[in-house]
Amino acid sequence: MLSNRLNLRQVEAFRAVMMAGQITAAAELLSITQPAVSRLIRDFEHATRLRLFERRGNQITPTPEALSLWREVERSFVGLNRIAGVADEISRHAAGTLRIAAMPALASGILPRFLGRFLRDKPNLRVSLNGMPSTTVIEAVASGQAEIGYADGTLGLPGFIVTPRSLAAIVAMPEGHPLTARQVIHPHDLAGERMITLEPGTIFAMRVEVALAGIPRLTSIETRLSHTALSLVSEGTGIAIIDPSSAAEFSGRGVAIRPFGPFIEAGFLTIHSANQPQSDLIDCFQAEFGDYHDEFVARQIG
């Protein structure tokens, strides 16, 4: 078998001579001596049993056999260059696959906004982003359908590595509402107000109900999505206690934001499986999104 007598250095020398047209120039390309190139070419000819160059003094001319072999060598090197390029992209987090499952409060606004920026210099990175309830996010990560999950919940999640991001809930009101004159909104300030609330069943909705217990309110409007609640606020329909991640998307869109007196946790958890290795790409995405999130929210609502 010829392949047993060939080595990559011989092929590199042959390619360099074909590209440069001279032994001397090929030696410069390979950063080796001219005699070393000549020896590699002789060994290559011997290994292939082909006469690859006609030699006339200092001039060499490729034979038809060399030209035929050159085409195959180039195809191989294009493949090697492609592999090297992909490896470089992976090292720069510019290639690979990333599957993200996220609660709607993030998947409907700030997360795709960040993702668009993250992908600008990563044309070979394949990403899927799916919005779903927090319980389904946890299931998606547990089953391997997503590498990263963003969910509402508690830290006690066996089998997961969890990174919490704590945020205080805010009050979203229509611009011009009398309560915008206050710097901080307390539960008793909302007495008699029409409230837009998230449907029962989520941890955040339960936290809000506990905070407003005993406060008389007008009939509430319930919705499943925080972005829907904020759209209703912007139309002057009512007031919502909401997460700042969603509220930041509505800054300057008919919604006034104020802090809420008692602290209500409105942050989220970043989760991934403890049974799967966490790649540098995941680490990079998680860190950059966290920084972007905090900067965007601070810039939009303070």
Q: What is the CATH number of the domain that holds 290?
A: 3.40.190.10
Which of 75, 91, 107 marks a domain boundary? 91
pLDDT at residue 3 in the model: 45
Per-residue pLDDT in tens (0 to 9) along the chain, 302 residues = 444 567 788 888 888 888 888 888 888 888 888 899 889 988 888 888 888 888 877 678 888 888 878 777 777 776 555 545 545 554 554 446 788 999 999 998 999 999 999 988 887 788 899 999 888 998 899 888 899 999 987 777 788 889 999 999 999 999 999 999 999 999 999 999 999 998 887 788 889 999 999 899 887 789 989 999 999 999 999 999 999 999 999 988 999 999 999 999 999 999 988 887 777 788 889 999 999 999 999 998 86
Q: Are residues 58 and 38 in the same domain?
A: yes
Domain of 75: which CATH number?
1.10.10.10
29: which 2 tokens? 């390309």
pLDDT at residue 1 in the model: 45
pLDDT at residue 83 in the model: 46
Residue with tokens 């309560």: 179
175, 255 Cβ separation under 8 angstroms: yes
Alpha-carbon span 172 to 98, nearest angstrom = 34
**For the chain, how many structural domains are there in total?**
3
pLDDT at residue 11 in the model: 82
Q: Are residues 131 and 66 in the same domain?
A: no
Q: In this structure, is residue 39 part of a structural domain?
A: yes
Q: Are residues 136 and 177 in the same domain?
A: no
Range of 73's domain?
Answer: 2-91
pLDDT at residue 258 in the model: 96
Q: In this structure, is residue 164 part of a structural domain?
A: no
pLDDT at residue 255 in the model: 95
pLDDT at residue 177 in the model: 95
pLDDT at residue 279 in the model: 76
Which of 58, 91, 124 marks a domain boundary? 91
Long-range Cβ pairs for the range 117-123 (8 Å, 24+): 117/292, 118/285, 118/288, 118/289, 121/94, 122/89, 122/93, 122/94, 122/95, 123/94
